[in-house]
């Protein structure tokens, strides 16, 4: 299994500002995924990030709002731009396991926008 | 976007009882997975069942898959207070490797 860390673990931000979340994996992986989990809800996939190419965004998510970087095979960042209170969520990064389609998740970043 | 529905949305049982959660999905799948999320340990992968499998066991977990009905169930036997968590089913894509989660079932196991 992969060990994933995220920074920051939580943050409280003001409306209109941006926050960049970092995700570090202890092994090289092809694909990394970013999810959002709104309070009391399930996980919603934001985008898939491949190293060396543009991230692929799911319906309802756009690059201007959630720019993603993937500079190498162990690291990715997600920026939440021009935040509003509706962006208050837990943001999780994940990677696919080596054997099959199971995914391993980071601990999440709990974001509160005031 | 989410694949389908899970029921019940919330389940409360006594320790030692069995807990059954159901999941339905909408499109064809390669596999279906179950995850657990609690506040202490984050999101953890429990079990994966492939589309050509009908039943799978892992410890106290039993998962069934009925592709004709597009549904799956997770049975936790002899539940423990530590099983208190939210349980999510998730489907793997057939085109590329993204995982889509259902809405989840909140399980409370009362000691």
Burial A11-32 (b: 16+ CB within 10 A, else e): eebeeeeebebbbebeeebebb
Size of interface A-B (CB pairs under 8 A): 55
- Cα–Cα distance list, B29 to A31, B50, B66, B71, B100 (Å): 20, 8, 11, 11, 11
Write down the pLDDT at residue B95: 45
Q: Is 80 exceeded by the pLDDT of residue A99?
A: no
Strand partners, B36: B44, B87
Higher pLDDT, A14 or B99: A14
Measured in degrees and rounded to the nearest 5, phi and psi for residue B81 equal -55, -30
DSSP B44-81: EEEEEEETT-SEEEETTEEEEEETTTTEEEEEE-S--G
Strand A10-13 and strand A4-7: pairing? unpaired
Largest CA distance in chain B: 44
Write down the pLDDT at residue A98: 67
Strand partners, A37: A43, A90
Q: Is 50 exceeded by the pLDDT of residue A26?
A: yes
**Mean pLDDT along residues A46-57:** 90
Residue of B nearest to A107 (CA): B42
Distance CA A46, CA B86 (A): 21
Residue B91, chain A, CB below 8 Å: the answer is no
Tokens 């999320």, residue located: B37
Q: Is residue B108 a contact partner of residue B15, using CB atoms and an 8 Å limit? A: no
Q: Which residues numbered 56-85 in B keep a CB inside 8 Å of some CB on A?
A: none
Strand partners, B89: B34
Higher pLDDT, B93 or B60: B60
Distance of CA B54 to the CA centre of its chain: 14
Q: Is 60 exceeded by the pLDDT of residue B1?
A: no
Minimum-distance CB partner of B99 among A101, A106, A108: A101
Write down the pLDDT at residue A1: 76
Rounded to 5°, angle at Cα A30 from B103 and B28: 40
Q: Model confidence over B61-109: pLDDT tens digits?
A: 999 999 999 999 999 999 999 999 999 999 875 445 578 899 999 999 9
Write down the pLDDT at residue A81: 98
Write down the pLDDT at residue A100: 61
Minimum-distance CB partner of A103 among B96, B99, B102: B99
Q: Which of A65-69, B8-12, B80-84 has the lowest mean pLDDT?
A: B8-12
Percentage of residues of chain A with pLDDT beyond 90:
80
| Mean residue pLDDT across chain A | 93
According to DSSP, residue A106 is labeled -
CB contact under 8 A, B42 and A106: yes
Measured in degrees and rounded to the nearest 5, phi and psi for residue B27 equal -110, 170
pLDDT tier for residue B11 given thresholds of 50, 70 and 90: very high
CB contact under 8 A, B88 and A42: yes
**Mean pLDDT along residues B7-25:** 94
């Amino acid at each position: 299994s992969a060990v994933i860390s995220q920074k920051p673990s939580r943050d409280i931000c003001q409306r209109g500002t941006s926050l960049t979340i970092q995700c570090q994996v202890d092994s090289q992986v092809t694909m990394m995924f970013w999810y959002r989990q709104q309070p009391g809800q399930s996980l919603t996939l934001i985008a898939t990030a491949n190293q060396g190419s543009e991230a692929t965004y799911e319906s309802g998510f756009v690059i201007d709002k959630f720019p993603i970087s993937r500079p190498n095979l162990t690291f990715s960042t997600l920026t939440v731009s021009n935040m509003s209170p509706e962006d208050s969520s837990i943001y999780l990064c994940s990677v696919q396991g080596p054997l099959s389609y199971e995914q391993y998740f980071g601990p999440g970043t709990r974001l509160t926008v005031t | 976007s989410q694949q389908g529905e899970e029921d019940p949305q919330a389940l409360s049982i006594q320790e030692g009882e069995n807990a059954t959660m159901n999941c339905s999905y909408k499109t064809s799948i390669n596999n279906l997975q179950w995850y657990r999320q609690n506040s202490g340990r984050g999101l953890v992968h429990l079990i994966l069942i492939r589309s050509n499998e009908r039943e799978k066991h892992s410890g106290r977990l039993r998962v069934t898959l009925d592709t004709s009905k597009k549904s799956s169930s997770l049975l936790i036997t002899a539940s423990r207070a530590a099983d208190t968590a939210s349980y999510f089913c998730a489907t793997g894509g057939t085109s590329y490797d993204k995982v889509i989660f259902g809405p989840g079932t909140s399980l409370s196991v009362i000691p």
